[in-house]
Structure 1
Amino acid sequence: MNVSTWVWLVTLAALIVMLAVDLLIVGRRPHEPSMREAGGWVAFYVGLALAFGVGLWITSGGAAAGEFYTGWLTEYSLSVDNLFVFMIIMARFNVPRQYQQKVLLIGIVLALLMRGAFIAAGAALIQQFSWVFYIFGVFLVYTAITLVKGGENDEDDFKENILIRWAKRALPISSSFGDGKLMAVSETGKRVFTPLLIVMIAIGTTDLIFALDSIPAIFGITKEPYLVFTANVFALMGLRQLYFLLGGLLERLVYLNIGLAFVLAFIGVKLFLEALHTNSLGFINGGRGVPWAPEIPIWLSLLVIIGTLGIATVASLVKSSRDQKKEPLKTSA
Structure 2
Amino acid sequence: MSLAHLFPRAIESGSKNAYVNIDVVPWHWMFLLVVIAVLLLTDLLVVHRSAHVLEKKEALIQSFAWISGGLSFAAFIAWQFGGNATGEYIGSYLMEMSLSADNVFVWAVLLAHFKIPSQYQHLVLFWGVIGAVVLRSLLIFGGIALLEIFEPAIAILGLFLVYAAFSLSREKDDDKDFNPSEGRTLRLFQKVIPSTDEIRGSALFIRDTKRGLVATPLFAVVVLLELTDAVFALDSVSAVLTITSEQFLAVASNAFAILGLRSLYFLLADVQAKFKYLQRGIALILGFVGFKMIVAYFWDWHVSTQWSLSFIVLVLGLSVGASIVQNRRPS
> How does the TM-score come out when normalised to structure 1?
0.86
SS at match of 1:95: coil
Tell me the alpha carbon deviations over residues 145-183 of structure 1, each in whole angstroms, 9 at most, x when there is no partner: 121222488442455433310222454432232212112
Distance in 2 of aligned mates of 1:170 and 1:126: 35
Determine whether 1:104 maps to 2:125. Answer: yes
The aligned counterpart of 2:236 is 214
Distance, in Å, in 1 between the alignment partners of 2:202 and 2:317 is 38
**Residues 207-239 of structure 1: CA deviation (Å, up to 9, x unaligned):** 110111111100100111111111101101222
2:306 is the alignment partner of 1:299: yes
Q: Secondary structure at the match of 1:192?
A: strand
- Residue 74 in structure 1 maps to residue 95 in structure 2: yes
1: distance between equivalents of 2:78 and 2:64?
Answer: 21
State the SS of the aligned residue for 1:220: coil
| Sequence identity (%) | 34
1:157–1:179 CA distance, 2 compared to 1 (3 A): closer
Whole-Å separation in 2 of the counterparts to 1:7 and 1:85: 33
Structure 2: how far apart are the matches of 1:153 and 1:208? 23
Secondary structure at the counterpart of residue 32 of structure 1:
coil
- Structure 2 gaps, min length 5: 1-21
- Answer yes or no: is 1:271 the counterpart of 2:288: no
Greater Cα radius of gyration, structure 1 or 2? 1
State which of 77, 90, 107 in structure 2 corresponds to 1:56: 77
Residues 104 and 268 in structure 2, CA contact (< 8 A), matched pair in contact too? no
Distance 2:233 2:162 in 1: 16
TM-score when normalising by structure 2? 0.86
> For residues 47 and 206 of structure 2, what CA distance do their matches in structure 1 show?
19
Deviation at 1:263, TM superposition (A): 0.6
In the alignment, which of 275, 282, 298 is matched to residue 253 of structure 1?
A: 275
Aligned counterpart in structure 2 of residue 11 of structure 1, from 32, 36, 55? 32
Distance 1:211 1:41 in 2: 24
Report how many residues are paired. 309
In 2, distance between residues paired with 1:308 and 1:199?
33
CA distance in 2, matches of 1:296, 1:28: 46
CA distance in 2, matches of 1:31, 1:193: 22
In the alignment, structure 1 residue 41 sits paired with structure 2 residue 62: yes
CA distance in 1, matches of 2:83, 2:211: 62
Q: What is the distance in 2 between the residues matched to 1:44 and 1:206?
A: 26
Between 149-158 and 295-304, the greater mean CA deviation after superposition: 149-158
Counterpart of 1:282 in structure 2 is none
Report the alpha carbon displacement of residue 36 of structure 1 after superposing the two structures with TM. 2.3
Q: Are the counterparts in 2 of residues 88 and 155 from structure 1 also a CA contact under 8 Å? A: no
CA RMSD of aligned residues (A): 2.2
**Deviation (angstroms), 1:309:** 0.9
Range with bigger deviation, 244-253 or 298-307 = 244-253
Query: 1:128 offset after TM fit, Å?
Result: 1.6
Quote how far apart the aligned CAs of 1:108 are: 0.9
Q: Cα deviations across residues 269-315 of structure 1 (Å, max 9, x unaligned)?
A: 01111112xxxxxxxxxxxxx3xx52111111111111111111122
Give the whole-Å Cα distance in 2 for the aligned partners of 1:308 and 1:79: 16
Q: 1:152 to 1:223 in 2, by over 3 A?
A: farther
